[in-house]
Structure 1
């Protein structure tokens, strides 16, 4: 599983211009089962995406399709981790 941390490199006005296309990108990979959660950071200086079921290299190729990356709106940091404990509600995320 991966935590993708986005940090905006442009003012929010520029981010807003790409937001609709970014959300369409997210929707596509939610439908494919790759993205399992996402949202804005607080304060609003970027966002976070949780992804699973792909390799690091595959995730990089997916993120290359994000309009935020393509338009230079955000930088990305990818952290891979193995979930070995969760609450009962999230047991499907375990990687034993």
Structure 2
């Protein structure tokens, strides 16, 4: 599982200009089953996405296609973790340590 942390690197007006395309990109990856949750940070200086994928390389490829990245308005920090405990609703995403 991955935590994708977005940090805005441009004025909020530039972020807002790319927002609709970013939401469409999010929708695409929710439909593919890769994104589990997402939202703005508070204060609004970025966002967070909880994602699943077979490996980090796949996540890095997905992140590179975010319209926020292509518009050069945010930077990503990708953190991989093993979800050994989850809420019942996320039981299907539980992992075991290797």
Q: TM-score range by the shorter chain?
A: over 0.9
Taking only aligned residues, the RMSD between alpha carbons, in angstroms, comes to: 0.9
Q: TM-score, normalised by structure 2?
A: 0.93
Give the unaligned 5+ runs of structure 2: none
CA offset digits 1:44-86 (Å, max 9, x no partner) = 0000011103310111111111110011100000000011112
2:83 maps to 83
TM-score by length of 1: 0.95
Unaligned 5+ runs, structure 1: none
Aligned length: 96
CA distance in 1, matches of 2:78, 2:2: 7
Which residue of 2 is the match for residue 42 of structure 1?
Answer: 42
Between the aligned partners of 1:87 and 1:36, the Cα distance in structure 2 is 13
